[in-house]
Amino acid sequence: MGLFRRTREDRVARRSYPVLTAAAVLAGLAIVSWPPSAGGGAAQAAREARPVGDTARSVRPPESSSRSFDGLPAVGALFDLDDDGKLTDHTCTGSVVKSPSRNLVLTAAHCIGGGSRRGNIGMAFAPGYHDGQTPYGVWRAVALYDPPEWASGSDPDADIAFLEVTDADGGGKRVQDVTGAMALEADGPVSGQARVVGYPSGDERPVACRNRVEPYSTTQLRFTCAGFPNGTSGGPFLAGDDEKTVVGVIGGHEGGGSTDDVSYSVIFGSKVKDLYQTASASSAAHSKS
């Protein structure tokens, strides 16, 4: 598969859009705590990793390969749009995360391109998509938020992004009110069982797998399970007893992984904190304008 198995930038023409800056940040919008990042290599990161989802009630037998299923309401496929605004191919995966504006979708930055902007992003989100059905509607991306380190140099440690979405039918609904949302967790490296969900390109159903997630380095997490090919980038690492807490997304090291058997994620920390605050503030302000 190679380094670019989940990258779509070579296929998507981009236009110029207004840049969104951190000046849009409003105080008091963070929903999680953000301690200093761990340092000292993978072994040190593993020692400092915080267990997640390892209670007797939450741990299930580990799986070695993904399985297709009907999907989750708050996880969906990201589609390219043609010039007429119609869905074409689904190329990546996203998940709805809790936010004051109730309209944010979390994914990997390499799924979209680089440079935070507002306008026609050329993508749409279909939560719960399966077998050609869009049970929770289609939501058009109207703004992109990614870290400056990704926009300027595709830093694998900054491969994270938020999309602001709006009802493609033109109604006033918010996606979070329709699908529910995942909690966003970023207390640094995590260790324990997680369920990873993604949409393989060309398939009409998502796949999922439960296994352990561990620090790969001081900046990256690793998840081992076969069956996460092209299209699963941006898929959430879901932890906790109810598997409704996002602790990572497929991306980062090797574009999320050079094989279908091992997937990676950026360790959520200060970059994700800052980006979430910016996206939350800007989308909340825009929804009121």
The CA distance from 111 to 108, in Å, is 6
Where are the strands (E) in 168-219, listed by range?
Answer: 183-184, 190-198, 207-215
Q: What is the pTM of this model?
A: 0.84
Whether 19 is covered by a domain: the verdict is no
Distances (CA, A) of 207 to 6, 148, 193: 15, 31, 17
The CA distance from 6 to 246, in Å, is 20
Whether 22 is covered by a domain: the verdict is no
Whether 25 is covered by a domain: the verdict is no
Q: What is the DSSP letter of 182?
A: B
The CA distance from 250 to 237, in Å, is 8
Whether 103 is covered by a domain: the verdict is yes
Q: What is the pLDDT along the chain (289 residues), one digit of tens a residue?
A: 333 344 443 333 322 334 444 333 333 333 333 333 334 455 555 546 666 655 545 567 789 999 999 999 999 999 999 988 899 999 999 999 999 999 999 999 999 988 999 998 999 999 999 999 999 999 999 999 999 999 999 999 999 999 999 999 888 899 999 999 999 987 766 778 999 999 999 899 999 999 999 999 999 999 999 999 999 999 999 999 899 999 999 999 999 999 999 999 999 998 898 999 999 999 988 877 5
Q: 187 near 50, Cβ under 8 Å?
A: yes
Residue-range definition of the domain harbouring residue 102 = 9-13+34-288
- E strand or H helix at 148, and its extent? helix 148-153
196's CB contacts (< 8 A; 6+ apart) are: 66, 208, 209, 210, 211, 213, 223, 225, 228, 235, 236, 237, 238, 250, 263
Whether 85 is covered by a domain: the verdict is yes
Whether 21 is covered by a domain: the verdict is no
What is the SS3 assignment for 23? helix
What is the SS3 assignment for 43? helix
Closest CA to 105 of 22, 29, 13, 180: 180
Whether 82 is covered by a domain: the verdict is yes
Q: 239 near 221, Cβ under 8 Å?
A: no
DSSP class per residue in 158-179:
G--EEEEEEETTS----HHHHH
| Count of C-beta atoms within a 10 Å radius of residue 4 | 14
**Number of domains comprising the chain:** 1
Query: What CATH number is attached to the domain comprising 240?
Result: 2.40.10.10
Whether 68 is covered by a domain: the verdict is yes
